[in-house]
Amino acid sequence: MVNKVKNMKINLGIVFHFHQPVDNFNWVIEDAYNKSYKPLIDNIFKFPEVKVTLHFSGNILEWLIKNKPKTIEKIKKMANRGQIELIGGGFYEPIFAIIPHRDKISQIIKLSNLIQEKFGLKPVGAWLSERVWEPDYPSFLNECGLKYVIVDDNHFRSTGIKEIDTLYSYNTENEGKTLRVFPINEPLRYLTPWKPTTHSIEYLKSIADDKGDRIALLISDAEKMGVWGTTHQICYVDGEGHHEGDEGKPFIPTFFKRITENKWINSITLKEYMEKHPAKGLIYLPTASYDKMEEWVLPTSIRKKFESLREELRKNPQRQDEYMFLKGGFWRYFLVKYPESNNMHKKMLHVRNKLISVEKQLKEKNLIRKYKDYIIEAWDEIYKAQCNDCYWHGLFGGIYLQFLRFSVYSHLINAERIIDNISSDLYNLKAKNYIFITPMDFNKNSKTEIIIESDLINLYIDPDDGGTIFELDYKPKSYNLLNTLTRWPEAYHDKEKIESNEIHIDRYRRSMFRIRIFNVETTLEQLISDKYQEMGSFVNQSFGILKMEKDLEAAIVELKGSGSIIDKQENSLIECSVMKKITLSEKSIELNVKCELNSSQSGKQLNSYYMGIDLPFFFNGNPDDFSWHCEDINENLKENSQLIDPLSFQCSKIKVFDKTYDLKLEMEFSSKIKPDKILKFPIIAYAFTDEGYKQIFEGINIIPCFKMRDKLDVSIKLIIE
């Protein structure tokens, strides 16, 4: 028995993942560096016998190269002494499943080249963002010279692989191209750093065997080892570590020391393991991500049921076979769950198609070399916009973090501006101003959206969703003023809090030019919470396209919706039609609404109703630096009222200003029919993050309200500068 214990071995692979979203605040990155990145790398450096595999997103690696040269030197020294392995992946952490093949290859090569240039290491492993896996991955990863990936053991469950069999690596293939797959060890992931290091050592001892070909793969976000909660104290501060077993010693150096003391633990990089041990066998994994992600992506009503069922099965030893085959949703469904996510994704595809078209024209004219640097810059802007963080929502803010969405739009509009400049030069256009109207299935839902693009402004119109505008780009500032977010229902929203108006949920997407019809008694609070009674059928009705035309100075789109208004007095419907006209010229957008009752029903009393027009917008600056002005407002009413404060007032022209970006938006109402009142309020989403519930500013909505009548003709001019 003694000899058998002595012969027991377990390979331990440790992977740390360093990532920050593109354009995250510098102070956030600096804080992560001080609390986690630096002490973690310093401790790895102090234990040369501990082999570690490191992954850095390209943008955080560039940040370290620029700002922390001493840390980079330590990484180089560890690379030279064979202590560490650096793995590759997408430079800006895209989800490979939702970006085109060309972009996958380019992003992977870009990161591999940077690693080889700075550290002299050629990556053979690939990091998968959020461990999202699809069965075609071996093909393009193999094409880039990458030989293995790391996925959750969750990916293996539905194949029938038992837990003991996840202590090995496997081969998979697609189109005959092979790839090694390493399962992440779930117990180790939950033990570190939350439990004393003795727990991890005992667990490793329990899975060691005398063959020595098993591997326990521990991966962790670097931020988990110092940024989350009190982990900095647990991991690095003497006396603040776990007392039971570790006697208060800091987790990271204590864990590394225990690895070196227990010779039956073979610390190894994944590349070394591959070279020493063949795969256990062939496997084909289904589309998957980590288990929590598969919960988060589900539609909210289904997610609540699924979470309850999964927890019930997980805790029941007699139902483990059922738990093994229980799978959640498919990552791509985030593009359906959050239309704003789909909006960013489809804009990315739209912009890259424009860039490919320009590239093709340059090649035909043998001018590609002349514009090479501009083309590279434009592609890099698109790659930055593919960073995964804001395309989904789970434990972290994700799609709810407005500055991350702003980053995506800014980079995509930057790319558009580069394309505009190349096109203008290419065709020797003296004046750079242009305007186009393009009908297309932008959302990829088989319905037609309309895109109006000029040198200054882009308008994206959805006839099927109430004839609304869902994107408004001011290109000189690379600024999408409709980067608003709808307050979507989430599984973690408490029903009682929703019913008591502590949490507001929207019924319709927060787009511009949405028509609402409601009683004059409707309160501002009811509109803020979106719990008023909608009296018309136009709010999200499909509008027909009547006209799309342009000349050198303007583009015009006309839409028509036929519907009804509820007549409460007679308990009947009043048939009417709504015409919408959207005109884009130079720096202004004119919105015109004509609402007219059918001739047979004219004379109906409608003065107890308002027609409200949603004019939401988003400012990315500091809300303390937002300002607003109305020429004819009662100054006593406006006194001490900030732009984001809810208010009901009257005026004929509103100017709002984002001082941070020096951006002004003006709303001017026609002198013929002025609003009877104007409502303004902030759009505040309640999102659960790693810091608990947070109220997140998602924009401001202004609703001019007009008393209904037989014929109503309203015009609103928007001016951006």
Q: What is the pLDDT of residues 582-614, one digit of tens each?
A: 999 987 999 999 999 886 666 566 888 999 999
Confidence of residue 320 (pLDDT cuts 50, 70, 90): confident
Confidence of residue 75 (pLDDT cuts 50, 70, 90): very high
Report, as an integer, the average pLDDT of 219-231: 94
Amino acid at 360: K
Cα–Cα dist 136/53, whole Å: 25
CATH of segment(s) 2-122+182-271? 3.20.110.20
CA 244 to chain centroid, in Å, comes to 40
Please say if 502 is a catalytic residue: no
Cα–Cα dist 515/463, whole Å: 13
| Beta bridge partner(s), residue 615 | 702
* Predicted pLDDT of residue 607: 82
The closest of 555, 304, 604 to 453, measured between CA atoms, is 555
Report, as an integer, the average pLDDT of 349-366: 95
Distance spanning both ends of the chain, measured CA to CA: 81
Q: Tell me the backbone φ, ψ of residue 245, rounded to 5 degrees.
A: 95, -40
What does the H/E/C string look like for 69-127? HHHHHHHHHHHHCCCEEEEEECCCCCCHHHCCHHHHHHHHHHHHHHHHHHHCCCCCEEE
The answer on pLDDT for 2 being more than 90 is no
Cα–Cα dist 131/161, whole Å: 18
* Predicted pLDDT of residue 395: 80
Cα–Cα dist 461/443, whole Å: 11
Cα–Cα dist 455/586, whole Å: 9
| Beta bridge partner(s), residue 294 | none
Helix, strand or coil for residue 521? coil
Within 10 angstroms of residue 243's Cβ, the number of other Cβ atoms is 11
The closest of 654, 663, 587 to 621, measured between CA atoms, is 663
pLDDT tens-digit series, residues 266-280: 999 999 999 999 999
| Beta bridge partner(s), residue 555 | 550, 584
The answer on pLDDT for 528 being more than 60 is yes
The answer on pLDDT for 1 being more than 60 is no
pLDDT tens-digit series, residues 474-489: 999 999 999 999 999 9
- DSSP track, 410-430: HHHHHHHHHHHHHHHHHTT-S
The closest of 185, 202, 200 to 256, measured between CA atoms, is 200
Q: Which residue has the higher pLDDT, 388 or 304?
A: 388
Before 193, cis peptide (omega within 30)?
Answer: yes
Decide if 456 contacts 587 (C-beta within 8 A). Answer: yes
**CA angle, residues 313, 315, 317, in degrees to nearest 5:** 85
Alpha helices in 281-392 (DSSP H): 291-296, 300-315, 320-325, 334-337, 339-364, 372-384
Report, as an integer, the average pLDDT of 225-251: 95
Confidence of residue 318 (pLDDT cuts 50, 70, 90): confident
| Beta bridge partner(s), residue 390 | none
Decide if 700 contacts 644 (C-beta within 8 A). Answer: yes
Report, as an integer, the average pLDDT of 499-509: 90
Q: Which residue has the higher pLDDT, 450 or 300?
A: 450
Report, as an integer, the average pLDDT of 645-674: 92
The closest of 318, 184, 316, 159 to 308, measured between CA atoms, is 316
Task: Give the alpha-carbon dihedral of 72, 398, 351, 412, to 10 degrees.
Answer: -60
Q: Which residue has the higher pLDDT, 674 or 384?
A: 384
Decide if 16 contacts 40 (C-beta within 8 A). Answer: yes
Confidence of residue 638 (pLDDT cuts 50, 70, 90): low
Least confident of 147-156, 392-401, 562-571: 562-571
Decide if 519 contacts 708 (C-beta within 8 A). Answer: no
CA–CA distances in Å: residue 589 to residues 306, 454, 541, 557, 662: 46, 12, 22, 11, 19
Amino acid at 323: Y
Rg of the chain on CA atoms, in Å: 29
Tokens encoding 124? 């053979």
User: What is the chain's length?
Assistant: 721
Tokens 């109906």 belong to 604
Tokens encoding 353? 């198609």
The answer on pLDDT for 580 being more than 50 is yes
The answer on pLDDT for 118 being more than 60 is yes
Amino acid at 526: Q
CA 440 to chain centroid, in Å, comes to 24
Among 85, 103, 130, 153, which one carries the catalytic annotation?
Answer: 130
Report, as an integer, the average pLDDT of 14-35: 97
* Predicted pLDDT of residue 21: 96
Confidence of residue 296 (pLDDT cuts 50, 70, 90): very high
The answer on pLDDT for 5 being more than 70 is no
Please say if 632 is a catalytic residue: no
Among 165, 221, 307, 596, which one carries the catalytic annotation?
Answer: 221
| Cβ partners under 8 Å of residue 516, min gap 6 | 527, 532, 534, 536, 539, 611, 612, 613, 614, 703
Cα–Cα dist 7/266, whole Å: 12
**CA angle, residues 364, 368, 374, in degrees to nearest 5:** 135
CATH pick for 495-720 out of 2.30.30.830, 2.70.98.10, 1.10.260.40, 3.30.1180.20? 2.70.98.10
Listed by start position, the domains of the chain span 2-122+182-271, 495-720
Confidence of residue 463 (pLDDT cuts 50, 70, 90): very high
Confidence of residue 502 (pLDDT cuts 50, 70, 90): confident
* Predicted pLDDT of residue 319: 84
Element (H, E) at 207: helix 197-207
Burial (CB < 10 A; 0-12, 13-18, 19+), residue 551, is: exposed
Task: Give the alpha-carbon dihedral of 346, 349, 352, 357, to 10 degrees.
Answer: -110
